Chain A
Amino acid sequence: AKAAQFHDEL
């Protein structure tokens, strides 16, 4: 699983 590059969730 890759870590989030940026946070696209609220």
Chain B
Amino acid sequence: LCGDMSHLLAIIILLMKIWKTRSCAGISGKSQALFALVFTTRYLDLFTSFISLYNTIMKVFFIVSSYFTVFLIYFKFKATYDSNHDTFRAEFLVVPVGGLSILVNSEFTPLEILWTFSIYLESVAILPQLFMVSKTGEAESITSHYLFALGSYRALYIFNWIYRYYFEGFFDLIAVVSGCVQTILYCDFFYLYITKVLRGKKITLPA
């Protein structure tokens, strides 16, 4: 639940930042478009299986909010979108991840392959955003809070997976490995966040 709430908080922080400042400066449209793709391919099971009302509502919210974020960046506040600095090649993520999900999955069915694709893609979808921060050498505090909440969410899931492994015998190798990779990608950022942002400074990297 803490993981889900952290994820929800991250999405709300980002939407509020864009909406209140009427600007998406410093935000990678590519990462946001990848997240929309992640939620779309993962939550196709909305049509096939019902888990709980909570589960359904969260899925719908994640899908709708991700497309809304993409709409804000690429249409409504397009003039403020910093495309010159958002130069990470998304196809270098989508194509290998697509290949891997066809090769390594737990069941060779369309829905399962798309789910696997979404798990793999999510683990690396933040790279365009982290690349953008490293390229411009700075991030606004609010962007840092967003990244911290978003990174924490998968880290919190790891604790839940450990719990579920011991008490329910539940273990999803694909989700666990991807979740660990995803969390590791944030480690450098977590370090900067704790040493700088929490001490009232904004993230600036040496040129």
Contact = CB atoms under 8 A, between A and B. Distances in A.
A10 B62 contact: yes
Interface residues of A, number: 9
A7 B169 contact: no
Interface string A1-10: 1111011111
B170 A2 contact: yes
Contacts of A1: 165, 169-171
11 contacts: A1-B169, A1-B170, A2-B171, A3-B106, A3-B173, A4-B175, A8-B51, A8-B55, A9-B157, A10-B7, A10-B58
A6 B171 CA distance: 12
Interface of A: 1-4, 6-10
B81 to A, nearest CB: 28
B35 interface: no
B55 A4 contact: no
B84 interface: no
B172 A3 contact: yes
A9 B175 CA distance: 10
Contacts of A7: 42, 45, 115, 172
A8 B7 CA distance: 16
Nearest to B119: A7
B76 interface: no
B172 A10 contact: no
A1 B157 CA distance: 18
B59 interface: yes
A10 B55 contact: yes
B21 interface: no
